[in-house]
Structure 1
Amino acid sequence: MVSCVDTTVFIIKTLFHTILIYLFFAFGPILLDIEPTKYNLTLPQTFDGPLTANNKLSQADHLFVNEIIGPESLAVWKGDVYTGVSDGRIIRIRKDHYKTIAQFGDPLKCVNPWEMERCGRPLGMRFDSKGLLYVADAYYGIHTVNVTSGKVKRILTSKRPIDNIRPLFVDDLVISEEEQAIYFTDASNKWDLKNVFYTVGEHDETGRVIRFDLKSKNSTVIMKSLGFPNGIELSDDRTTLYVCEFNNRRIMKHFVDGDRRGQTDVFALNLPGEPDNIRRSSDPFRETYWVALAMGRNEKNPSFAMDMLSNWPKTRKALLRVMHTVGTVVEYFGKLIYFRPLIELGFKTKSGSIIFHTITNYGMAVELDTDGNIIQSLHSPDGRTTLLSEVREVVVGDQKVLYLGSYGNNYIGKVSLGQLTKINRPLLTHEKKKFIDLQKKNFAKRSTDPKPYKPYKAFDLQNPDFGQHQQQQQQYDQSDYRFDPDFQKAMKMRQMSKNKSKSKVKSKSKSKTKAKANSKTKSTSKSKTTKTITKSKT
């Protein structure tokens, strides 16, 4: 009897202390300043159609294991692949061998991952048409790298405010040589790269897209209130920007030219994972885009951290504060006695990187067409190749190869998609003409001076009208769009307009037939009268 009472008292005490600890970490004012928000995002019901599961990513080759750490982005020039790694180096990969061609910051200060802000961290990378490499540094802005000499030059500093806010987390970029400008993403106004885990945990929506003019050196915010904007890409006709929103599991479509300049639409919604970078495929005739997903999943296999806790912001707040507090204490004592393994353990706990691979246990990448539809997907159900940040398609000889980048992996992935599909027929005239015209158009745009840029008001995704429309769209799965009442109304209106147009066409056709009949009767009567006249004359 005594033992039973003791156990109940012990359980009550444990529950009481647990509740006290939870309340302290959820509402304590002296801890990490973080306010997670509630969100509700849907996932695909199952993996079928273009999302049918396979093992293509699981069969990927892992190159340079434990030699290359965190190859976030990949750029290609003359068959060589370039990437930036966690210690600030820019690496060239040629025939499955790598070489360091440039270094950001002092290499002696870039040894420890908890001091990456001292030397910088290269993320998004792009080549221009002349072979000059542009690199987005998460801490120090945008740089150019001469891959022949290794010279690094900063062209945009992140210390200077843009629209009264300093870029805190420069992530990805894309070059528009026609405009002589760079579009880049500023992932968050609150959290830097070391605290990227809290950007996701808080469901932060303070990200921006910024246009940097290479001639005037002026910067303009064109999109704001984005949920962790990550990858960015330009369409083939250079009128549209595709921006990946990691936190909202979607890709936005922003018009930078044409009749809808300055407006924004949803390009791809309810993706089966968080999109990181987006890159154009190597297909010259079919415009498609590869999107790397940090973690793939569907409604049957949701993530506890990303999906189940989405409606429990206070619980997320308590858990994030526990990780930050424990990590800070461990890191402090490690630095006090200068014990490197303890410092690293504290940093990984505080930054959340210690559980990156625990959360991301299903690797995935998808290929999208110009309508935002998924046309192909690559899977790693066993989690062997996961936490992807970029998929770069390269043609090597007659083979199609995908290089896989990752912010957190200790290797570069490589997947062979097989031999290029040969066309059994000659190209049609309009296909040749389209391809040649596109090349001429792009060359003409690059060779002529760009039009003077006219700034426009930044598109705010927190606009109430846009938000309502987005919430309505998120409530319905893309496959069940027929049950959307707005869609049904639109279809009714469309049917009514079709019926009206049909009735008009019928009335017009009837009047035409009547007129033809009248004309025929008149002509026959005339012919009869002429015949009678001729007979009478004879």
Structure 2
Amino acid sequence: MNETEGLRQRRPIRPQVVTDEAAALDAKDRSTYSGKVFRVTFLTLIVLVVLPLLGAIFLLECPIDPQPLSFQEPPLLSGVLEPNLKLRQAERLFEGSLVGPESIVNIGDVLYTGTADGQILKIEDGIIHTVARLGRPPCGTREFEPTCGRPLGIRVGPNGTLFVADCYQGLFEVNPVTGDVQILVSSHNPVQGKKMSFVNDLTLTQDGRKIYFTDSSSKWQRRDYAFLVMEGTDDGRLLEYDTVTKEVKVLLDGLRFPNGVQLSPNEDFLLVAETTMARIRRYYVSGLRKGGADMFVENMPGFPDNIRLSSSGGYWVAMAAVRLNPGFSMVDFLSQRPWLKRLIFKLLSQDTVMKFVPKYSLVLELSESGSYRRSFHDPNGEVVAYVSEAHEYDGHLYLGSFRSPFICRLKL
């Protein structure tokens, strides 16, 4: 090794001086790298999620053609409508032994109801008996519901027989002793050129001559009731069946989801729940105003289902969904946004959509003039869920449900 090489090896290594400028350059490099990662991740997200979503929005067909609806601001839940927990005082009966007891009647101390498996049941001394079956098994799924049958409204006739509205098949008369079933009006026969797709509730005169009933839609069946509500379809009708002449005629049409129906004590008018519009119409069947109609109650705090007489001369109205004020009502929010309804039903099934509707059971007692007398609530439907009817008997309300596996009984 020569002297020059030795000096060159012994030359001290100069320390690297980190300046603000160097740190900035390093941070810039890291920032540039992070930015590249973010852009790649963002573009990947667009490709994997956003583009298919947009494609679905534009290419998928929407099952409904929603109409814009106009609602007033819901009434304040105050005074008579003040929220309470009175329905939670009800007791559940026969839990797990029957499903969907939509409507309830009594003959003496014996109760009768129709259930989701197409049966008419008798409940006597705490024991459930099958009286008749309106359809045929199998049952229990959406696919089989039309052939299984689905009894909804049920009434007792003057001769002690049961009159039943099956939403898929029509009107029946059932002998509760023998179990004999007679079809009175078949849904397969069009009325004034329109089919009956969703026969719902019925009421009849004391002599049994006239039966008044609702057909909720000529387009949608019961299993698609969410489509019916969200579309705002106005093809529902109030009809009359004459048991002597066997004729069916239309009393009112252009209704949006006509549901529960009740003849007044004097048999001079009918009340018809127009569920989608949160109101009850009145149609006159006798007197000077025969054939006329007006509004009995409008802008209700919920969406009315069945209507039944109360012992005070008024009416019980059951509601399984409410319009909270203060609060939020999804149906009200979507009413003027048909584009949003289309988007929702392109992406989600009706069962999924209905899960976003909060459970809230409400039973109202109306006076003979339509004012609110009493309200019984169960926020979140903890005890009384999916309530469809309030039938008063022997100092109690027997509460039907279109879905729950029990009947509730509330002492008045």
Shared fold, TM over 0.5: yes
CA distance in 1, matches of 2:291, 2:55: 45
Q: Is structure 2 residue 292 aligned with structure 1 residue 263? A: yes
Q: Is structure 2 residue 350 aligned with structure 1 residue 318? A: no
Q: Is structure 2 residue 371 aligned with structure 1 residue 368? A: no
Q: TM-score, normalised by structure 1?
A: 0.67
CA distance in 2, matches of 1:410, 1:179: 32
Higher helix share: 1
Q: Is structure 2 residue 213 aligned with structure 1 residue 214? A: no
Q: Determine which of 89, 105, 109 is the counterpart of 1:75.
A: 105
CA contact (8 A) 1:240 1:254 kept: yes
Correspondence for 1:464:
none
Distance 1:73 1:21, change over 3 A: farther
SS state at 2:143 partner: helix
Q: Determine which of 135, 139, 151 is the counterpart of 2:168.
A: 139
CA distance in 2, matches of 1:20, 1:39: 32
How far has the Cα of 1:34 moved from its partner?
Answer: 1.4
Q: Aligned runs of 1:35-434 on 2, under 5 Å?
A: 35-106=65-136, 108-178=137-207, 180-281=209-310, 283=311, 286-304=312-330, 306-324=331-349, 352-353=350-351, 356=354, 358-384=356-382, 385-395=384-394, 400-417=395-412
CA contact (8 A) 1:72 1:124 kept: yes
CA distance in 2, matches of 1:198, 1:189: 13
SS state at 1:143 partner: strand
CA distance in 2, matches of 1:255, 1:298: 32
Q: Aligned runs of 1:411-490 on 2, under 5 Å?
A: 411-417=406-412
The one-letter code of the counterpart of 1:69 is V
How far has the Cα of 1:358 moved from its partner?
Answer: 4.8
Correspondence for 1:7:
38
- What is the number of equivalent residue pairs in this alignment? 380
The one-letter code of the counterpart of 1:370 is E
SS state at 1:295 partner: strand
Identity of aligned residues (%): 33
Unaligned stretches of 5+ residues in structure 2: 1-30
Q: TM-score, normalised by structure 2?
A: 0.86
CA distance in 2, matches of 1:406, 1:9: 53
How far has the Cα of 1:186 moved from its partner?
Answer: 0.5
CA distance in 2, matches of 1:315, 1:13: 27
The one-letter code of the counterpart of 2:346 is R
CA contact (8 A) 2:211 2:242 kept: yes
Q: Over residues 114-133 of structure 1, what are the superposed CA-to-partner deviations in whole Å (9 max), with x where a residue is unaligned?
A: 30111211111011121110
SS state at 2:267 partner: coil
CA contact (8 A) 1:26 1:314 kept: no
Distance 1:379 1:111, change over 3 A: closer
Distance 1:26 1:212, change over 3 A: farther
Distance 1:124 1:217, change over 3 A: same
How far has the Cα of 1:177 moved from its partner?
Answer: 4.1
Q: Over residues 359-398 of structure 1, what are the superposed CA-to-partner deviations in whole Å (9 max), with x where a residue is unaligned?
A: 2322111000121111100001242123211111111xxx
Distance 1:141 1:16, change over 3 A: same
CA contact (8 A) 1:86 1:113 kept: no
How far has the Cα of 1:295 moved from its partner?
Answer: 1.4
The one-letter code of the counterpart of 2:217 is S
CA contact (8 A) 2:88 2:378 kept: yes
CA contact (8 A) 2:236 2:255 kept: yes
CA distance in 2, matches of 1:278, 1:209: 14
CA RMSD of aligned residues (A): 2.1
CA contact (8 A) 2:358 2:380 kept: no
CA contact (8 A) 2:75 2:301 kept: no
Distance 1:25 1:266, change over 3 A: farther
How far has the Cα of 1:91 moved from its partner?
Answer: 1.1
